Structure 1
Amino acid sequence: MAASLLLPSQRISQMRMHSEDLTKDVMCFSLCLKRQKCNIKLYMIPASTIFHHGVLRPFAPIGSSGADGINQGNHVSLGVLAPNKFQRSRTLLHSSSNPSGDVNDFERQLQELFDAVKTMIKMGNKKDAIDLLQANYEAVKEQIDGGAKGMEQAAILDIIVLGHMLVGDLKLVRSLLDMMDKIVDGLKDDEALLDSVLLHMGSVYSTLGKFEKSMLMYRRALEILEMTYGKDSAFLITPLLGMAKALGSIGRVTKAVEIYHQAIAILELSRGAESDDLVVPLLGLGNLLIKERKATDAEIPFTRILNIYKRSYGENDGRVGIAMCSLAHVKCAKGDADEAIQLYRNALRIIKDSKYMALDDNVMEKMRIDLAELLHVVGRGKEGRELLEECLLITEKYKGEDHPSSVTHLINLATSYSRSKNFVEAERLLRTSLRIMMKTVGPDDQSITFPMLHLAVTLYHLKQDEEAEQLALKALQIREAAFGKESLPVGEALDCLVSIQTRVGKDDSELLDLLKRVLIIQEKEFGYESEEVMITLKKIVFYLDKMGRKDEKFPLQKRLSLLRNKHKESIQY
């Protein structure tokens, strides 16, 4: 082969290495990467095994056996479980027109390189992983500078890019992709490994938010796979889903929906209408429709996912519970609150009884919080508080009473009690949360301002204005230093301070100056015609009228009147 990889092993003799490479004590590796988790908005099954598409390996053929994809120890919020049935059981090279031994050796080297990087990262040796990637980059860069711009160089760069993505070091990724672009543009579509490299490039471009480039890579990979396997092959699913995601991200929703339906139709034909392989495209379609506020349309794919899991795993399987939560989210978006609440409750019961997740799992915790919030919205605050208290008790049991993660639950509970006018209990909870935060991050960290402002508002309701004002001033000072004087967090603190100082009896001109600061911030952050701006304008007009400053008041009053009419029409519509 023209290309070689640097690996730290005794197999150095297998590869051509320059003398300077030997001094680095690294050797050549090759690799196979699992596809990255889908970025999903709703709760679904963990994505740890979705499309375990090898770095240089396509899918398994129809009918090949695959793991069911459950990884109990790696639950991911908003992930989805899909059986690992879209890999080809053999490498691309087995069906390639170039099945020579040196190509197989090269692919094995690629596999070893990626495995080495993964192992180093897992063991905490991130620097060693970066050094190994850099050594291979320097070697392949020398080859490219010398005029070698073939599939081997693209494949090595592919592994280096994926390695940097794993490490979380994106500094070189964009320039590496540019190098790969120039190489793959000159390659013929029948090159072994090209389809896999294009799929990885599409995925990385998507991760970087370069959706147009992502589309180009996925489309070319799709064309290659269509020529090889036909237009009804399940091997097309990965590029189709990649294209659909990219299209949805750039606002081409109609085309994205069409491609999701194409993927679904292919899988129905090859795997059957009740196959759990359908979950991934159904989920992508459902999430896109939710994003576009088409909850009624989204209900169809999410209901279908739930039914598929019930048939595949039984009514009481944890995966069914997770699917129920997704459907509950859709019902909530439709306004079917009672159905959503029942689905949430059944889901939590099934997941708990099946022990599919630990009680303190982040996904389960968020489900409880979502249900609690919904219960508060429909006026069932007591039931909502019971769930929030359960969250707090579970956190204290598994992590300790003063653990920082309990702060969220303390604040949520305090908010619930404030809604029910129990400000005394809210004060107790907020003081506890503030104490924990100050002990954890220090007295001047911006994160303490959240419970601090909540406590200031609660003390205001308890007529403890002096302490409320001091807390609001302190929060304002910290946020100004942390975010800048014209930031949205500062605007929030200013608005809170104005309410407190109004009752304290602060000078009207000082309050007006504070409100003008709030207005400037809100105009910048929310727009000149936002509801937030309208509310602040109302306060400013009040003070201008009170102070007799009619010349300033009239233009603002006219603007306020126009905004009121606009928002009134919006509400009626």
Structure 2
Amino acid sequence: MATRRLLSLFRGIRSAPPFPANRVIPSFLSSGSSDFGNNTRQNQNQWRLIAAILFSGQAAVFFMDENRIAYAQDDSSNKLLSENTQGQGGNQEAYVSGLQRVEDGAVVSNEHTIKWRIFTDTGRDLFSKGKLDEAEKAFESALKEARLGFGQRDPHVASSCNNLAELKRVRKQFEEAEPLYLEAISILEDSFGPDDIRVGAALHNLGQFYLAQHKLDEARSSYERALKIKGRILAYNNPDYASTVHHLGRVLYLQGKEKDAEALIKESISILEDNGLGESSTCIRRMTTLAQIMLKSNRPADAEMLQRKILHALELLKGWDSLETANAAEALALTLQSLGNLKESRELLEKCLEVRKKVLSEDHIQVASTMLHLARLELYDSKRVPLVNGKYSETSEDLIRAKELLDNYK
């Protein structure tokens, strides 16, 4: 399964030489097995937990997926991470205790490094609570203490640069964020070499930064380089690799390369499915994106198959009392309506309306939206009944129901 069907532009990547033997590789990557193509759950879990902390210290660096913020892993890894930590029990603290350990095995500990840890953890906590002003001050202080405690070109400084850059990106302070991203990458390249996994993670973040500004050429370049590094070290069926594949697909779509984009997004979904994450929220979001691409390219039949898959996954994951499930049902209903399957479309819209009325108030805009979709469907269906004296019958049940729905909306 490791040798997949990515586009020709990645054929050179797949045939690239393996990671140089003399490169410094974190022990968690070399322990147990050097075969990253075997896709064992243990290797994936080790990467998820350790990369999150080795790069920055206690989940300080943000890894981005879709359009959301996450600490150290996107949603596709939640299952892996939770299973790993549950299995380790108290051993998780052992990982945390080594956060200040540098590549040569020495431990750096002084007043400034202690302050760096405190400010980093404080900034992370404030960020998670949405207190961005206070979080920014904490991350700025963490960067200052990292420079004083570890040295100007230490990887801890790169971590702090990346944290502060990500916060500034979220706040759309792009001019201030870019030099921080670039400094982080430069330090990591000097410390570990240009092909290290930490460089790949930082390049992925830089791609996110450029994508947020619609700088598509720069974003594509960052993602492509990150993809080469991740594929070489993590293997081509790793969920982290799939995340970068997906983001590169989004960039290509915005550049008008629809076929290439679709192939990449499909590939990222397949990788998640191969890893048992086909019903994760991340995979569902990616399938939703792919369905939208299919609809925009006038392929409703293809979109229907994918939307049924999405709805089934959400039924299992969230149940029918979830607005996400209702949204998926409505999307499928509209596609079915365009394909002429009015009966099933109506059933789904009515179920969607029931859920939204239950979860939201009856005068909520989403309730009104569903009622309008139902009214439109009834009007469309009424035009298919036989004419009476050259006119549509105003007494047809469908037309009466449509009027009732519109009256209720008013």
TM category, shorter: 0.5 to 0.7
User: Alpha-carbon deviation of 1:316?
Assistant: 7.4
**Residue among 276, 279, 285 paired with 1:313:** 276
* Residues 279-334 of structure 1: per-residue CA shift (max 9 Å, x gap): 21112112223334432121121111122123221877887655543432332233
User: Alpha-carbon deviation of 1:336?
Assistant: 2.2
**Residue among 181, 190, 194 paired with 1:227:** 190
Distance 1:426 1:167, change over 3 A: same
- TM-score, scaled relative to structure 1: 0.48
**Residue among 411, 425, 434 paired with 2:401:** 425
Secondary structure at 1:68 match in 2: helix
User: Alpha-carbon deviation of 1:249?
Assistant: 3.3
Contact 2:207/2:218 (8 A) holds in 1: yes
Name the Cα RMSD after superposition: 4.1
What one-letter code is carried by the residue in structure 2 that aligns with 1:373?
Answer: L
What one-letter code is carried by the residue in structure 1 that aligns with 2:176?
Answer: K
* Residues 181-239 of structure 1: per-residue CA shift (max 9 Å, x gap): 99999996324631121111211121122334322211110111111121111112332
State the distance in 2 between where 1:67 and 1:104 align: 32
In structure 2, the gaps of 5 or more residues are 1-56, 84-94, 383-397
What one-letter code is carried by the residue in structure 1 that aligns with 2:318?
Answer: M
What one-letter code is carried by the residue in structure 1 that aligns with 2:328?
Answer: M
Contact 1:92/1:192 (8 A) holds in 2: no
Aligned-pair identity (%): 18
User: Alpha-carbon deviation of 1:167?
Assistant: 4.0
State the distance in 2 between where 1:219 and 1:370 align: 41
State the distance in 1 between where 2:163 and 2:344 align: 47
Contact 1:298/1:330 (8 A) holds in 2: no
* Residues 524-557 of structure 1: per-residue CA shift (max 9 Å, x gap): xxxxxxxxxxxxxxxxxxxxxxxxxxxxxxxxxx
**Residue among 230, 233, 236 paired with 1:270:** 233
State the distance in 1 between where 2:381 and 2:60 align: 49
**Residue among 167, 170, 174 paired with 1:211:** 174
Distance 1:178 1:201, change over 3 A: closer
User: Alpha-carbon deviation of 1:341?
Assistant: 0.8
Contact 2:169/2:209 (8 A) holds in 1: yes
Distance 1:335 1:224, change over 3 A: same
Contact 1:318/1:350 (8 A) holds in 2: no
Q: Which residue pairs with 2:370 in the alignment?
A: 409
User: Alpha-carbon deviation of 1:266?
Assistant: 0.8
Contact 1:211/1:249 (8 A) holds in 2: no
Distance 1:409 1:37, change over 3 A: farther
Q: Which residue pairs with 2:99 in the alignment?
A: 91
State the distance in 1 between where 2:143 and 2:376 align: 52
Contact 2:279/2:317 (8 A) holds in 1: no
Contact 2:265/2:290 (8 A) holds in 1: yes
In the alignment of these two chains, the number of paired residues is 323
What one-letter code is carried by the residue in structure 2 that aligns with 1:386?
Answer: E
Distance 1:181 1:33, change over 3 A: closer
Secondary structure at 2:348 match in 1: helix
1:51 equivalent to 2:77? Answer no
State the distance in 1 between where 2:369 and 2:97 align: 46
Q: Which residue pairs with 1:12 in the alignment?
A: none
User: Alpha-carbon deviation of 1:259?
Assistant: 1.6
Q: Which residue pairs with 2:353 in the alignment?
A: 392
User: Alpha-carbon deviation of 1:99?
Assistant: 0.8
Secondary structure at 2:328 match in 1: helix
What one-letter code is carried by the residue in structure 1 that aligns with 2:99?
Answer: T
Q: Which residue pairs with 2:385 in the alignment?
A: none
What one-letter code is carried by the residue in structure 1 that aligns with 2:304?
Answer: I
Secondary structure at 1:335 match in 2: coil
User: Alpha-carbon deviation of 1:423?
Assistant: 4.8
Bigger Cα displacement from structure 2, 382-391 vs 88-97: 88-97
Instruction: State how 1:531-542 maps to structure 2 within 5 Å.
Output: none
Secondary structure at 1:359 match in 2: coil
State the distance in 2 between where 1:319 and 1:346 align: 14
Q: Which residue pairs with 1:346 in the alignment?
A: 309
State the distance in 2 between where 1:326 and 1:90 align: 40
State the distance in 2 between where 1:245 and 1:373 align: 32
* Residues 336-385 of structure 1: per-residue CA shift (max 9 Å, x gap): 22111112113322443xx2223233333322222223333444444333
Distance 1:296 1:400, change over 3 A: closer
State the distance in 1 between where 2:97 and 2:261 align: 34
State the distance in 2 between where 1:269 and 1:297 align: 21
State the distance in 1 between where 2:195 and 2:227 align: 11
Q: Which residue pairs with 1:68 in the alignment?
A: 80
- TM-score, scaled relative to structure 2: 0.64
Distance 1:388 1:292, change over 3 A: farther
Distance 1:341 1:89, change over 3 A: farther
Contact 1:40/1:287 (8 A) holds in 2: no
User: Alpha-carbon deviation of 1:100?
Assistant: 2.2
Contact 2:116/2:143 (8 A) holds in 1: no
User: Alpha-carbon deviation of 1:32?
Assistant: 4.9
1:197 equivalent to 2:146? Answer no
User: Alpha-carbon deviation of 1:165?
Assistant: 3.9
Q: Which residue pairs with 1:361 in the alignment?
A: 322
Bigger Cα displacement from structure 2, 343-352 vs 223-232: 343-352
Distance 1:199 1:267, change over 3 A: same
Distance 1:109 1:185, change over 3 A: closer
Contact 1:202/1:242 (8 A) holds in 2: no
What one-letter code is carried by the residue in structure 2 that aligns with 1:399?
Answer: V
**Residue among 45, 57, 66 paired with 1:40:** 66
Instruction: State how 1:177-192 maps to structure 2 within 5 Å.
Output: 189-191=152-154
